[in-house]
Structure 1
Amino acid sequence: MNPYVLMTLLSSLGLGTTLTFASSHWLLAWMGLEINTLAIIPLMAQHHHPRAVEAATKYFLTQATAAAMILFASMTNAWITGGWDMSDMSNPIASTMIIAALALKIGLAPMHFWMPEVLQGLDLLTGLILSTWQKLAPLALIIQTAQAIDPLLLTALGLLSTLIGGWGGLNQTQLRKILAYSSIAHMGWMIIVLQYAPHLTLLALLTYIFMTSAAFLTLKISSATKVNTLAIIWSKNPVLTATTALVLLSLGGLPPLTGFMPKWLILQELTKQSLPLAATVMALAALLSLYFYLRLCYAMTLTLSPNTLSSATPWRLRTTQASLPLALTTTLALGLLPVTPAIVMLVT
């Protein structure tokens, strides 16, 4: 892609998200979401592959549906209340439509069906943008309107997302689909605690971005898109294989890695709010996710590729790709648990 075009599209992504962050007016927030959607569509279809074009089409139709629902709900709210202010969501029908539309935007269950299919058709860097940056603006709107939404609805969305995110990834062989279901499960963890402790939602989002970025950048460097491809990564880069296994365990939420921190704090908060059943279901759903992360670790570190290589084992091949972002995100995804109190104070 032409670098000027790429710079324009990435600037538009930043502009759309910033506009949504800075707005307290529904029309401006809607405009920011639309700029975001229109900027990422060319990035999705840049390879002119049928799967990429199909993914871009599915994404456009899904996001257009969600944007139309947001516009309709905000107009309904403005008609009843006389204003477009986000803080004045007194109409229950409008607020329910808003949360349904925003759930469709970020891929919360049961509006998650588009997410694995779209992510499967994209290259890894565009998939990284879709899994991280594209979640920011809708989540900011959900956080701003959370107090007007029925707590039972948010709890149901969170529980369903963690269960489906864990269940859906069990029998997958495509790494991008596994990361899509991982995204759905992590969104569930963020949503369920939103009404009680919004700072924990922000903390879970930050740690999710670090861990997912490390996973996607690792797959990009090793050119892996299927589970069986992971079996030959150790021969190319043994150090990267070891750190990737740890990143996957961090995504699963095992101590003493960073991914344990948000899950631990969220379960603690749910217990404080007298929701032991919800906390138990969330913890059991985390075990489902952990199972398919362990499958990936097993394929990467404990198995050999069934293919017989006709040449010498390619030890430590030099890569021409930038490895600084990978090193930074891997470090953050593995080592932040000891500074949990400082991070909690920072986001509170």
Structure 2
Amino acid sequence: HWFFAWIGLELNTLAIIPILAKHHHPRATEAATKYFIIQATASSLILFSSILNAWHTGTWDITQLSTKLATITLTIALTMKLGLAPMHFWLPEVMQGTTLSSALIIATWQKLPPMSLLLMTKHLPTPILLTLAITSTLIGGWSGLNQVHMRKILAFSSIAHLGWTMAILILSQKLALLSLMIYILMTTALFLVLISNTTKTFKDMSQLWTKSPALSTSCMFILMALGGLPPLIGFLPKWLILKELTNYHLTPLATLMAIASLLSLMFYMRLTYITTLTISPNTTNSMMKWRFKPTTTISP
């Protein structure tokens, strides 16, 4: 029932707002306000589309969405909630303004309610979804190249990965669900590494090896998996999605998405290089910080 789905989305939004704004800092308050405005706008569009569909068809059933205008409005609203391009502008700013743990919730758990509604909805507009998919993949990869803050990089990573999920949503819902679950798994693993070391920038990443070599090595594998390098787990959904797109004679789209994924791979590899192949300047590797003291003086 669309009304209950809308209530669920509103409860979800109202529950996350205090978590985003719990740190009494202007940036946290700004992030929470931006998040609330975007989510409230998207929720109002969802309510509008469901009322429009109920007016035309006489039913509030989620699976019976058949009116063209209602379907397009709903698709735009749900993709706005997910943070897909070109409605993605709020996501990097909100994630940058919150703590790492709050950013983890936004990048993973908050994707589930809108995505579940997209999976349940029939007659989704294929051209719009495919356009959003390729736009998100390109913008997610291109915008991430210029970032030095980890939360913004992971925000653009989220946009790019959700672009891949949208591309296959119409053709294979099981594959879309697999892609989403693997993305959530990899992103959660990387966020846990960042949270354990309070890592926020490239500079912090370069110091990870001196703090914990084992964690730094794990981070390298997670980053390469996010980039989609074989034989790591991130390669599997991309390979299956490209294969499925080719089977449905969407080879130009598959080619463009494969090329766009190289942009994302670029900043993942740059992060991997900084994390594991460079060591930040350090006076000594000893746990005890000490210096030699001169014991003799040279007389003139």
Same fold (TM over 0.5): yes
1:148 is displaced (CA, Å) by 1.1
Query: 2:12: which partner in 1?
Result: 36
Find the partner of 2:202 among 192, 205, 227.
227
Query: 1:179: which partner in 2?
Result: 154
Where 1:172 maps in the other structure, the secondary structure is coil
Q: Distance in 1 between matches of 2:89 and 2:211?
A: 35
Matches for 1:56-67 after TM superposition, within 5 Å = 56-67=32-43
| Cα deviation digits, residues 172-217 of structure 1 (max 9, x gap) | 0000000000000010010110111100000001100110001100
Q: Distance in 2 between matches of 1:89 and 1:314?
A: 63
1:50 is displaced (CA, Å) by 1.2
1:312 is displaced (CA, Å) by 4.8
Query: 2:186: which partner in 1?
Result: 211
Matches for 1:276-295 after TM superposition, within 5 Å = 276-295=251-270
Q: Distance in 1 between matches of 2:66 and 2:100?
A: 41
Q: Distance in 2 between matches of 1:79 and 1:260?
A: 45
Report the TM-score when normalising by structure 2: 0.94
Q: Would the aligned equivalents of 1:235 and 1:314 in 2 still touch at CA under 8 Å?
A: no
Report the TM-score when normalising by structure 1: 0.81
Where 2:169 maps in the other structure, the secondary structure is coil
Q: Distance in 2 between matches of 1:68 and 1:200?
A: 30
Q: Distance in 2 between matches of 1:30 and 1:290?
A: 37
**Match status 1:149 vs 2:128:** no
Where 2:80 maps in the other structure, the secondary structure is helix
Q: Distance in 2 between matches of 1:314 and 1:289?
A: 37
Where 1:148 maps in the other structure, the secondary structure is coil
Going from structure 1 to structure 2, the CA distance change for 1:279 and 1:76 (only over 3 Å counts) comes to: same
Query: 2:235: which partner in 1?
Result: 260
Find the partner of 2:85 among 109, 113, 121.
109
Matches for 1:183-332 after TM superposition, within 5 Å = 183-306=158-281, 308-309=282-283, 312-314=285-287
Matches for 1:78-117 after TM superposition, within 5 Å = 78-117=54-93
Find the partner of 2:2 among 8, 23, 26.
26
Q: Distance in 2 between matches of 1:231 and 1:155?
A: 38
Q: Distance in 2 between matches of 1:314 and 1:123?
A: 29
Q: Distance in 2 between matches of 1:313 and 1:223?
A: 22
Name the aligned partner's letter for residue 93 of structure 1. L
Find the partner of 1:166 among 141, 154, 172.
141
- Percent of aligned positions with the same letter in both sequences? 53
1:228 is displaced (CA, Å) by 1.4
Query: 2:295: which partner in 1?
Result: none
Name the aligned partner's letter for residue 148 of structure 2. T
Q: Would the aligned equivalents of 1:250 and 1:260 in 2 still touch at CA under 8 Å?
A: yes
Q: Distance in 2 between matches of 1:79 and 1:27?
A: 14
Q: Distance in 2 between matches of 1:55 and 1:70?
A: 23
Name the aligned partner's letter for residue 160 of structure 1. T
Name the aligned partner's letter for residue 109 of structure 2. W
Q: Would the aligned equivalents of 2:210 and 2:279 in 1 still touch at CA under 8 Å?
A: no
Structure 2: segments with no counterpart, 5+ residues: 289-300
1:301 is displaced (CA, Å) by 1.3
Q: Distance in 2 between matches of 1:189 and 1:314?
A: 45
| Cα deviation digits, residues 257-281 of structure 1 (max 9, x gap) | 0000100100000000000000001
Name the aligned partner's letter for residue 304 of structure 1. I
Matches for 1:119-134 after TM superposition, within 5 Å = 119-134=95-110
Q: Would the aligned equivalents of 1:170 and 1:292 in 2 still touch at CA under 8 Å?
A: yes
Going from structure 1 to structure 2, the CA distance change for 1:314 and 1:120 (only over 3 Å counts) comes to: farther
Q: Distance in 2 between matches of 1:181 and 1:242?
A: 23
Going from structure 1 to structure 2, the CA distance change for 1:209 and 1:313 (only over 3 Å counts) comes to: farther
Going from structure 1 to structure 2, the CA distance change for 1:75 and 1:313 (only over 3 Å counts) comes to: farther
Query: 1:45: which partner in 2?
Result: 21
Query: 2:294: which partner in 1?
Result: none
